[in-house]
Structure 1
């Protein structure tokens, strides 16, 4: 657990397809598996909240001790199944932190909407790189044939901290998710064109760096990403050692090692075991042995580990030794890559201050709802129609995934709405996708709905049919914000999909691919519910236990 570990370098590397083929059951061991596929994750910080030890009478804590405690808890939250950034308490560690551009895509991410108190949500993408770019990472990752190859983003988790800081939602995206990649321009100027076919999401990291993974998330979900944190294998091990044991549970004896050599090597007896160090890394990488031997089971195991770690840290019994925290900080900062908005100890500490406000019982882990592909993409996964967009919409709208109310209040526009009969609206058909043409007559149908609601100055743009994944309303200036929101309310479109834009000269409504069918807009505001297919797990659920695949028991 001593000195610094190697970093994952992504600049200037040319992408090279390493998507698993059917004749290569598990191309590279990574976070995913030792001799299987990889699923790494560099990530970051923890949270402090409702925990703490001591009696009603306690001596005042020093400022440094408070930093240690707060940092330890945020570090837990940001680890999310892959390792973490120790809390960077001393300025000299700033130089250890590797910085990259937040996004390499050519689309500007939409701004957050503030709530009535002026607060905005915070979204952090945690990325697990499986790079074999250092001796430590090569030893832990194995797969000599992959040494020096472009890294894969084998673990991707989005942390959503609500605007009022009352709750935290997490979405994991399986690394086998097939999607379209956006155009990305690497820091050295190399251009990676947008993909014309579906590509496995973990390849985004090799398209210029973590900023392309951020751009890919935004392209798919429409969720603004404020920061990213990326970490490698060695960072996970050093973090897990510094934290100490984290209880995990299996419903049968497990040995993740098949006759063909596939598996992480994890070997545990039935029941609860406290794991740390390399054993914790094995748990987080295990694919063969959990449930159906896919990324979906591994994501559940990562969520169980994460929640358990947060509970342990909030008991106040972990990471109270300054020497351990110093070792952790040295190792983690050497392995950590962040965006340029999180490049100092002060910024990371401020982030810790925000995360420590969330109680454990308001943490919800989830996985992007998905379905398996067929044919040449058999075994890969795709976002599940309806359910995946529902989950993304809830995060965009800052709706808690645990179903409990937050302190959110509706945001009143700065400029009130004009009478609906005086509001001019242009509607266009943007329902086309990469595989389907525009749905016939959609712009006219929605325009008719607006006219029936009293918007007499509604017209249709018959020429602009550029596709959009989500229905949206754009307005050019603040004085039209109230009018644009009135249009959204009349159609049941969430206000988070109403944006200010200099690309339009008046109020423009794009009917997106999420509204190809006639009738009301698919989801009414205020009635959103986390889909069962997201597999939500609450932070206080101590009874979670991984189901062992019978082929990997002993």
Structure 2
């Protein structure tokens, strides 16, 4: 990255090529989510979404030495840390959203880089998505879950975390009392984290221990809070070091980062990584919100697995899709209407194409609204879509969508947008579907009554209870408190 500032002649060019050679990459997506990139705002800008993945790979001796588990050397890694970094279209605010690793979600059909196919599964922990098609499958899982297009993924393993923490000279974290996360008579294992009360700049193996600590902080939710504290601390450290303008810092960071990170294919060059970092450098720390999606015990396996709280998750996904700021300083993002993007291809006459209506009102866990598909099919007929008809097949969804056959391209999209517009649905509800045979309206659990969709209002900073998890200092569970002496 420093070479882009200094020039690329002579030895500089060779170093640039050396850095490019360090970068490991893979496909952006592992399957089909049908989610498309949000339309640009009036200035032509779109939100930026990056999925950050922490792998528990033991594929080499460095990772075994740091994480233990030699028996897992040949096991496919799990995505034990997953965070979505969302940067607003105007680059004024950003948020980091976590889902705990043991949260049960639907994982879509995916294909691995070696061509191995994995069938969709309805209820498995989200960290298994990495085993079912690599980081691209984890990205597709998040897209399917949130309805939000994700531009890139970045993945780091144990050794990469240690290297990056050392390169920045340590990351500031804080505990309210001394902590020692070790085995005890009730719970075996532990990260080994041992810190005195107050602030510490963790680096090397200690940084990894901080990110892996769960028992001492009480839960997976609190582990995510500690991970977010680390992310905030790293951003603050980099901004304090003028990392984007200091040539010496850039060279060290470039060497370490290109060795530590794996990235999606469209980032496989130093120049593209540099361009990406330049979009992040100006986000103010007081406009960076960290949040974890609220969860509850998963009834079939409550001691081991979690499930998303539907109302809370749906609200957060809606804010993401609509680019509404997670912090209260960005209320203008929630009140100014987004400009409509007119399709380049005009829609065909409403009565010239078929529309199938599916009742998905049971997608929120409630009983379906009887006759809902028929009611909406008649509504569409009254609006000129004379070939609209209802389907007896269910299609439970939390959110209402209008899908169209991917093979129909721009014409299919334009026709689907005309259906959505006639019902008051937002453009974000229109999705391409490789398996669709015609345009399909799935009436979701968010639209159980009425014939005109009333878009839920979202206000900047109005996160569901328990989601905003920014902390200045971590509480320590009593069993793991340490006096700093023994």
TM over 0.5: yes
Give SS of 1:405's match. Answer: helix
Please state if 1:252 is matched with 2:177. yes
Q: Normalising to structure 1: TM-score of the pair?
A: 0.73
Match of 2:268 among 333, 343, 349: 343
Q: CA deviation at 1:446?
A: 4.6
Give SS of 2:201's match. Answer: strand
1:171-214 deviation digits (Å, cap 9, x = unpaired): 1110011112211122222111112x511111111113111111
Please state if 1:546 is matched with 2:474. yes
Check the 8 A contact 1:132/1:138 in 2, yes or no.
yes
Check the 8 A contact 1:473/1:488 in 2, yes or no.
no
Match of 2:358 among 421, 424, 428: 428
Look up the match of 1:497. Answer: 429
Match of 2:209 among 234, 259, 282: 282
Aligned counterparts of 1:298 and 1:376: Cα–Cα separation in 2: 20
Check the 8 A contact 2:30/2:111 in 1, yes or no.
yes
CA RMSD, aligned part only? 3.7
Q: CA deviation at 1:328?
A: 4.3
Look up the match of 1:221. Answer: 146
Check the 8 A contact 2:42/2:339 in 1, yes or no.
yes
1:329-388 deviation digits (Å, cap 9, x = unpaired): 334323321111010001111111222242222211111121122343434111101110
Please state if 1:402 is matched with 2:331. no
Please state if 1:510 is matched with 2:442. yes
Q: CA deviation at 1:520?
A: 7.9
Q: Which runs of 5+ in 1 are unaligned?
A: 1-44, 46-60, 68-87
Give the direction of change, closer, same or farther, for the CA distance of 1:319–1:271 in structure 2 (3 Å limit).
farther
Give the direction of change, closer, same or farther, for the CA distance of 1:371–1:522 in structure 2 (3 Å limit).
farther
Aligned counterparts of 1:142 and 1:318: Cα–Cα separation in 2: 33
Aligned counterparts of 1:518 and 1:184: Cα–Cα separation in 2: 37
Aligned ranges 1:187-202 → 2 under 5 Å: 187-195=113-121, 197-202=122-127
Give the direction of change, closer, same or farther, for the CA distance of 1:145–1:514 in structure 2 (3 Å limit).
farther
Instruction: Decide which moves more: 237-246 or 454-463.
Output: 454-463
Give the direction of change, closer, same or farther, for the CA distance of 1:62–1:151 in structure 2 (3 Å limit).
closer
Give the direction of change, closer, same or farther, for the CA distance of 1:161–1:546 in structure 2 (3 Å limit).
same
Aligned ranges 1:27-426 → 2 under 5 Å: 64=5, 90-195=16-121, 197-260=122-185, 261-290=188-217, 292=218, 294-316=219-241, 325-403=250-328, 404-406=330-332, 409-414=337-342
Match of 2:400 among 471, 492, 511: 471
Q: CA deviation at 1:510?
A: 1.8
Check the 8 A contact 2:148/2:320 in 1, yes or no.
yes
Match of 2:421 among 486, 499, 502: 486
Give the direction of change, closer, same or farther, for the CA distance of 1:478–1:272 in structure 2 (3 Å limit).
closer
Give the direction of change, closer, same or farther, for the CA distance of 1:316–1:66 in structure 2 (3 Å limit).
farther
Give SS of 1:158's match. Answer: strand
Q: CA deviation at 1:258?
A: 2.9
Instruction: Decide which moves more: 393-402 or 420-429.
Output: 420-429
Look up the match of 2:407. Answer: none
Give SS of 1:214's match. Answer: helix
Q: CA deviation at 1:389?
A: 1.1
Give the direction of change, closer, same or farther, for the CA distance of 1:513–1:122 in structure 2 (3 Å limit).
same
Tell me which protein shows more strand as a share of its residues. Answer: 2
Check the 8 A contact 1:161/1:168 in 2, yes or no.
yes
Give SS of 1:545's match. Answer: coil
Aligned counterparts of 2:247 and 2:94: Cα–Cα separation in 1: 28
Instruction: Decide which moves more: 527-536 or 514-523.
Output: 514-523
Q: CA deviation at 1:247?
A: 2.0
Check the 8 A contact 1:120/1:163 in 2, yes or no.
yes
Tell me which protein shows more helix as a share of its residues. Answer: 2
Q: Normalising to structure 2: TM-score of the pair?
A: 0.83
Q: CA deviation at 1:274?
A: 2.1
Q: Which runs of 5+ in 2 are unaligned?
A: 9-13, 405-410
Give the direction of change, closer, same or farther, for the CA distance of 1:528–1:461 in structure 2 (3 Å limit).
farther
Give the direction of change, closer, same or farther, for the CA distance of 1:285–1:434 in structure 2 (3 Å limit).
same
